[in-house]
Structure 1
Amino acid sequence: MKKDEVPQDTSNLETAKLKELCYALDDDGNYTTVNSSGWDPKTIALNQAIEEINARIADAKRRVLKNKTSPIEYYMEFHKMDVSILASYVGMWSWRVKRHFKPTIFKKLSNKKLQKYADTFDVSVEQLKDITKHGN
């Protein structure tokens, strides 16, 4: 695409005063960089992804409040992680992290393990135990 054809559609980037760096051809046929405020198809896809993430966070929060899962699952979703990523951050096997999703198991975790999770999520142990204290 040529430099003057780079999309400048309204997007979330524009409202945040950000620009996306794109490559385009200049008048001499050489590649150059051009700032773009957005592109409608990309904006639609990004908005759909954000909606899906927010739905997963809300579902995890609802399940924690109903005692169906532990706060670890909520914080994992909130921080856009999956089990394997979280497991690597806390230095545990994935199956152990999944096991910690069970409220009965979570309540028995040692302070040392709770602190690992709290450090990973950048919250206090108190916030980890009670998601209503999380300032999201």
Structure 2
Amino acid sequence: MKKEEVPQDGDNLHEGTFKQIFYAVDNAGSYVQVSSVGWEPENVALGQAWEEVNKKVEEARRRVLAGEVSPIAYYMEKHLMEIPLLASYVGKFQWQVKRHLKPAVFNKLSDLMLQRYATAFKVSIAELKHIK
């Protein structure tokens, strides 16, 4: 791709806050770095992906409010985390994190354990316990 052909579709999901680096050929035939604010196919794909993520977050929120799962499930979806990653953040085995997804078990967690989860999700304990 030539330097002048690098896409600059300003209608992107980053709202102009992020730029990507592409390598393109300049007039001398050398590869150079060219920044781009995005291009339409990428923006469409990212938009669809984020719609799916938001649906999963909302479904997790609904399940928490219905008492089916603990708030940990909501924050895992919101932060795009899987059990292995969260377990490593809070210093627990995966099976323990799975147990903490049960509301009855979550309600008995110590303040120390709640603080570990709150730190992992970058929220307060109060926010962790009470989903809006």
Q: TM-score, normalised by structure 2?
A: 0.92
Residue matched to 1:20? 20
Query: What runs of 5+ residues in structure 1 fail to find an aligned partner?
Result: none
**How far off is 1:17 after superposition?**
4.0
Over 3 Å counting, the alpha-carbon distance change for 1:107 and 1:17 in structure 2 is closer
Measured in 1, the distance between the counterparts of 2:124 and 2:36 equals: 40
Measured in 1, the distance between the counterparts of 2:71 and 2:126 equals: 11
TM alignment of 1:57-96, pairs within 5 A: 57-96=57-96
RMSD between aligned alpha carbons? 1.3
Residue matched to 2:12? 11
**How far off is 1:99 after superposition?**
1.2
Measured in 1, the distance between the counterparts of 2:123 and 2:17 equals: 29
Residue matched to 2:97? 97
Letter in 1 for 2:83: V
* Contact 2:79/2:121, CA 8 A, preserved across alignment: yes
Measured in 2, the distance between the counterparts of 1:105 and 1:12 equals: 39
Query: What runs of 5+ residues in structure 2 fail to find an aligned partner?
Result: none
Residue matched to 1:33? 33
Residue matched to 2:45? 45
Residue matched to 2:131? 131
**How far off is 1:19 after superposition?**
2.3
- The percent identity for this pair of structures is 51
Q: TM-score, normalised by structure 1?
A: 0.90
Measured in 1, the distance between the counterparts of 2:75 and 2:32 equals: 41
How many residue pairs are counted as aligned between the two chains?
Answer: 131
Letter in 2 for 1:70: S
Residue matched to 1:54? 54
Letter in 2 for 1:74: Y
Which consecutive aligned stretches of 4+ in structure 1 deviate over 6 angstroms post-superposition? none
SS at the partner of 1:22?
strand
Letter in 2 for 1:81: M
**How far off is 1:12 after superposition?**
1.9
